[in-house]
Amino acid sequence: MIVVTGMSGAGRTSALRVLEDLGFYCVDNLPPQLAPALLELLSDGRARSLSQGKSLAKVGLGIDVRAGAFLEGADQLIDRVRELGNEVDVLFLDCVDEVLVRRYSETRRPHPLAPGGDVIAAIAQERERLAPLRMRATHTIDTSSFSVHELRRALIEFLGRKGSPHSMRIRLISFGFKYGIPVDADLVFDVRFLDNPHFVPSLRPLSGLDEAVQRYVINSEGASQFIEDLLVMLEHAVPRYEREGKAYLTIAVGCTGGRHRSVAVVEHIARRLPFSDRVRISHRDINRYDNRHEPG
């Protein structure tokens, strides 16, 4: 469990969204006294969830001054959750007062302790009420100069040190340019310069999933060097996309019709990527094929 707490306006809601993207089951503004019951409930359903390919082993719990009187004793509650055999980290998000005041002014949202509008007094009161939790924090992040993206990077770095590295989902997609570039593509590569199996009568009815087509495409002039260069680039770029906190990366490879060359190249590079266990393959246009006229 990661307890996410801290000053209102310091990014607690954004942090919970990041944890949710990274596979945590997140609950915000739950009265701390109900946390053991939540963990017991999740434990009861864990076997069923795991059998369905889901995991409830990581929980994010947002606690702030909106808990009101329930906030009292939250630090003792953390000990109780640990006694139940759970690993607990307390992440405290802080920010200098001037920046907090500016953020509330820009968003025009009321501070939870300042319904009348005295934000400066509310911030001082909030610091006092959150002092016991701050003393129990295992990790503190000052977001005064952070953007949302920088907060995401800081959280990923924190989780990496805790042994829970972020795993970006990677999608390799083949497509045909005549049907348009995939709208969700982050990186697009054009393999229309490779020899086209469409013009080989014995290969035309096949697709890039067939071994004969793959051999023809991969052994064509320029294919080997292109693939080696592409693999080097991806091995360099993908970890950096991951460190930036990107949840998904879509790599699109296109030929004319999306049936032969792009399919063969996608299948080939998917097998050779060092992070192939995290790659999902999709062949968007492999079945959109006219055997008489359409080159692939």
The answer to whether residues 88 and 30 belong to one domain is yes
Q: What is the pTM of this model?
A: 0.59
State residue 50's pLDDT score.
45
Instruction: Supply the range of the domain harboring residue 252.
Output: 169-283
Is residue 296 situated within a structural domain? no
* Dihedral angle computed from the Cα positions of residues 42, 43, 48 and 50, in that order, rounded to the nearest 10 degrees: 90
Please tell me the distance from the alpha carbon of residue 81 to that of residue 35, in angstroms, as a whole number: 8
The answer to whether residues 33 and 124 belong to one domain is yes
CA 132 to chain centre: 32
Please tell me the distance from the alpha carbon of residue 167 to that of residue 162, in angstroms, as a whole number: 14
Number of Cβ atoms within 10 Å of the Cβ of 53? 6
Residue in 252, 253, 260 with CA at minimum distance from that of residue 216: 260
Total number of domains in the chain: 2
The answer to whether residues 151 and 66 belong to one domain is yes
Going by the DSSP 8-state scheme, the letter that residue 184 receives in this structure is T
State residue 34's pLDDT score.
76
Q: Which residues of the chain have pLDDT under 50?
A: 47-48, 50-55
Please tell me the distance from the alpha carbon of residue 155 to that of residue 57, in angstroms, as a whole number: 18
Domain boundary among 101, 126, 161: 161
The answer to whether residues 224 and 117 belong to one domain is no
Residue 261, C-beta contacts closer than 8 angstroms, at least 6 positions apart: 191, 192, 194, 196, 197, 208, 217, 255, 296
Longest dimension (CA), the chain: 80
Residue 210, C-beta contacts closer than 8 angstroms, at least 6 positions apart: 203
The answer to whether residues 139 and 173 belong to one domain is no
The answer to whether residues 143 and 18 belong to one domain is yes
Domain boundary among 161, 186, 205: 161
State residue 169's pLDDT score.
80
State residue 77's pLDDT score.
75
